Amino acid sequence: MPFSVEVPVTVRWRDFDALGHVNNAVFLTFLETGRDRFFHSLVGDTFLDLVLVRLEIDFTAEIPMGTEEVLVTCRATGIGRTSMRTQEQILLPGGALAAQSETVIVARDAATRSARPWTDEERVVLEGAL
């Protein structure tokens, strides 16, 4: 069974816009919270220099004013030589889907500031999440 995380995220008053729902830009922060927890759950405090290189998002429902918490999920969907694909969801109270995203995350060499292959150790851990 694939490894995934579920992260309750508190919706703050400042997340809402004049239209009475969570602003679309805030959805990205919610999704990032899920991805961060996903990778931390896999590697703990080990630092991985990762860069988000692709993000595709489908907004399926608004998060209306008064919503206090949403649930963000994240799971791996594939691994490449230098990258990992993930899927995140934002779920409303009651379980309705508010948004779904697919991302590509790339391992980065800090010295060259360019993509690098996963190490053998990293690959074992990441493949274990699939």
- Average pLDDT (69-73) is 98
User: With respect to CATH, is domain 4-127 assigned 3.10.129.10?
Assistant: yes
Q: Where are the domains of the chain?
A: 4-127
pLDDT of residue 1: 66
Compute the distance between CA of residue 39 and CA of residue 45 in angstroms, rounded to an integer.
10
In this prediction, what percent of the chain has a pLDDT beyond 90?
80
Instruction: List, for residues 3-60, the tens digit of each pLDDT value.
Output: 899 999 999 999 999 999 999 999 999 999 999 999 999 887 777 789 999 999 999 9
Lowest mean pLDDT among 41-50, 69-78, 115-124: 41-50
Compute the distance between CA of residue 71 and CA of residue 89 in angstroms, rounded to an integer.
8
pLDDT higher for 46 or 127?
A: 127
DSSP 2-70: --EEEEEEEPPGGGB-TTSBB-HHHHHHHHHHHHHHHHHHHHTT----EEEEEEEEEE-S--BTT--EE
For the chain, report the end-to-end CA distance as a whole number of angstroms. Answer: 8
- CA dihedral (126, 108, 101, 27) positive or negative: positive
Nearest alpha-carbon partner for 61 in 103, 100, 32, 34: 100
pLDDT of residue 97: 98
* Token pair 């969907």 in the structure block, residue: 77
| pLDDT band per the 50, 70, 90 thresholds, residue 64 | very high
| pLDDT band per the 50, 70, 90 thresholds, residue 129 | confident
pLDDT of residue 48: 79
Compute the distance between CA of residue 128 and CA of residue 72 in angstroms, rounded to an integer.
21
